[in-house]
Amino acid sequence: DNNSRIFDPAEIDSDAPAKSQPQRIFSWLICASYDDRGNALVYEYAQEDTHRIFENSDGNPQAKAHERNRNDAGHAANRYLKRIKYGNRTPNRDPATWQATDPRQLATDTWMFEVVFDYGEGHYTEDAPDAERRIFAQAQTEAPDGSHWPVRPDPFSSYRAGFEVRTYRLCRRVLMLHHFPDELTGVDYLVRSTEFAYAESPIASFITSITQSGYVQTADGKYLKKSLPPLVFEYSKVPTSAELAQLPVQTVNPISLENLPIGLDGSMYQWVDLDGEGISGILTEQADGWFYKRNLSPLPPTNGESAKVQFGALELVAGRPATSLGGHAQLLDLAGDGQVDLVQMDGPVRGFYERTAEAGWVTFRPFATWPNVDTRDPNLKFVDLDGDGHADILIAEDDVFTWHASMAEEGFGPAQRVTQPLDEEKGPRLVFADGTQSIYLSDMSGDGLTDLARIRNGEVCYWPNLGYGRFGAKVTMDNAPWFDHPDQFNQQRIRLADVDGSGTTDILYLGRNRVDLYRNQSGNGWGGAEAIPFPQVDNLAAVMALDLLGNGTACLVWSSPLPGAASCPMRYIDLMNGCKPHLLVKSVNNLGAETRVAYAPSTKFYLQDKFAGNPWITRLPFPVHVIERVESYDHISRNRFVTRYAYHHGIYSGWPTVRRGMNG
């Protein structure tokens, strides 16, 4: 396209950690671009710092446990787009040879247009409306001396770079300035702004309105502001504490559970997505045969009722491998493509049976390489350590972690040892078999990587996954829950789940007559206990949190094998009350137009097509919320326009050539 772009680490300040540690450069930011005619753009960035991090919302000093082990290198890693300059009066080319030069070397006064991103540093201020309801504002390209940008209430971190990249700031507005000193009254003339308003909370921040404004400078140097009506957004909401307290206990129709063991206690069945359909069914082994009940819950009820859990008829798994589910075999997705494999980890030959898209099994295939490890070792876990979607082997010992990289369907690579620090504040010193503490593998930070978490009564901490067997310094989360009295706390009552689909792991604690939900606040701390009614269950009941409805949110599911529970062998609580939170559901432009959006999980369209005789050629191994209905209403003409969408043949190819999408 006759455009050249410069991605230059010289943009990074000389004292930044990436300059002194080049191994910490994860991505290169565009710094300049230009075309063959000498038109250029320059991009400038603001470096993250520690300003106002250790303050509360009132500006008073506040100690934060989750910041204790973060250092300057972690604070300074992130960059925010600060300004874009374009419209250069002088081409960035030599007049004689037309050879291009770096646009950043052009004189400052050559740029006619400048876009400034304001993160609350003080570029822009407004006076209170006057008697005529006029608003006057002041603006400048550089932030005032001594001003510092505020911290968002939900700072979050990503460790996918192999080091922490932390985001503390929110863009509050974008300013458009013109530099025509001969035509306009000033070198820097504000002509337009786009302002963002947010619904802010420690869990997440959402844009609630966008307002565009124009400006005219007055004789005293201030700007008279005129604004268009704001564009307002609404989102599907998480149930409030009062709504959670009213959640009903629902019973799965016993007819839907016919031919299953009485009371699913976990010893004779598995929840598994056997065919990569995006929703888990029930796999059982009875009388030397495998049987599978498909989960049909995403299908809409025919009688117009709300969504209910329903299962299909019991199916015999034809051509099943010659091994027992109770033996030393595991169902894993070795290739990361959504197709499950039965992995044989014991015996003289280690290998796997691959499940096919036609509901069959490929003959046994031995691994090309397999490490000399005992997979029965309680200190051995299968966990994705490098973010490629494949489960690697991790063995935790006192002072060293040994891991074997997954080679997909070829097996596992040689041992790689990572020495752990002696101080647990700098790195994990954990063994999974330690009965004195609860160690979990879960995504506590919300970056998609599995972290090492330790949960005690009154303390929750985690060591973030840095990839390749490395874990970062301990993050001690604020406001850790006291789940119960110290002499009554039982770690076996803890359940972990991403309840609302936000990406971070929440905690459920099973009490005697209720469940306490503690929401993860962006990996930084915990919200207070939110009580959910829960009946008393016996010690044999299996209680778990899983996506029972196939819509991407968690349900609390339990079942008991005792005769007294035969009339209701499986019960559940839909923790999100049938709603997928955090989705954009409504926009209003305040000029007469209103748009409403309704969503449905991809599993609904998959099952509808399957039962209509049009099975998908390709599948999605996880539910994806897609737009099902868009309703546009014109309040002036009173016209309503509705568009409905249906989706088919979702595709997901897995790592390394990740492809995903659907046909409409």
Q: How far apart are CA 608 and CA 545, in angstroms?
A: 26
**CA distances (Å), 326 to each of 85, 293, 599, 644, in order?**
65, 18, 40, 46
Taking every pair of C-alpha atoms in the chain, what is the biggest distance, in angstroms? 94
> Could you give the 3-state DSSP secondary structure of residue 456?
strand
Cβ neighbours of residue 411 closer than 8 Å, sequence gap 6 or more? 350, 367, 368, 369, 370
Q: How far apart are CA 436 and CA 449, in angstroms?
A: 25
**What are the pLDDT digits (tens) for 107-134?**
999 999 999 999 999 999 999 999 999 9
End-to-end Cα spacing for the chain: 31
Q: How far apart are CA 139 and CA 176, in angstroms?
A: 10
Question: What is the number of alpha carbons within 13 Å of residue 403 lying toward its C-beta?
Answer: 22
Asked if residues 135 and 127 have their Cβ atoms less than 8 Å apart, the reply is yes
Asked if residues 415 and 404 have their Cβ atoms less than 8 Å apart, the reply is yes
**What is the full DSSP assignment across 490-536?**
-GGGEEEE-TTSSSSPEEEEE-SSEEEEE-EETTTEEPPPEEEE---
Closest CA to 602 of 628, 633, 641, 567: 628
Q: How far apart are CA 583 and CA 483, in angstroms?
A: 31
Q: Which two tokens stand for residue 215?
A: 């400006």
- Cα–chain-centroid distance for residue 313? 35
Q: What is the dihedral of CA 263, 267, 268, 274, to 10 degrees?
A: 110
Asked if residues 558 and 568 have their Cβ atoms less than 8 Å apart, the reply is no
Residues of the chain with pLDDT under 50: 12-17
The helix or strand, by DSSP H or E, that contains position 539, with its residue range, turns out to be none
Place of tokens 């996880």: 622
Helix, strand, coil: what percent of the chain each, to 5?
10, 40, 55
pLDDT value of residue 568 = 76
pLDDT value of residue 12 = 47
pLDDT value of residue 604 = 95
pLDDT value of residue 433 = 60
Dihedral over Cα of 171, 176, 179, 184: its sign:
negative
Cβ neighbours of residue 96 closer than 8 Å, sequence gap 6 or more? none
pLDDT value of residue 20 = 52
pLDDT value of residue 659 = 57
Closest CA to 469 of 522, 413, 423: 413
> Could you give the 3-state DSSP secondary structure of residue 556?
strand
Q: Which two tokens stand for residue 558?
A: 């339990």
Closest CA to 517 of 248, 171, 239: 239
Overall pTM > 0.75: yes
pLDDT value of residue 537 = 81
Q: How far apart are CA 285 and CA 86, in angstroms?
A: 68
Closest CA to 169 of 187, 184, 155: 155
Dihedral over Cα of 41, 47, 52, 54: its sign:
positive
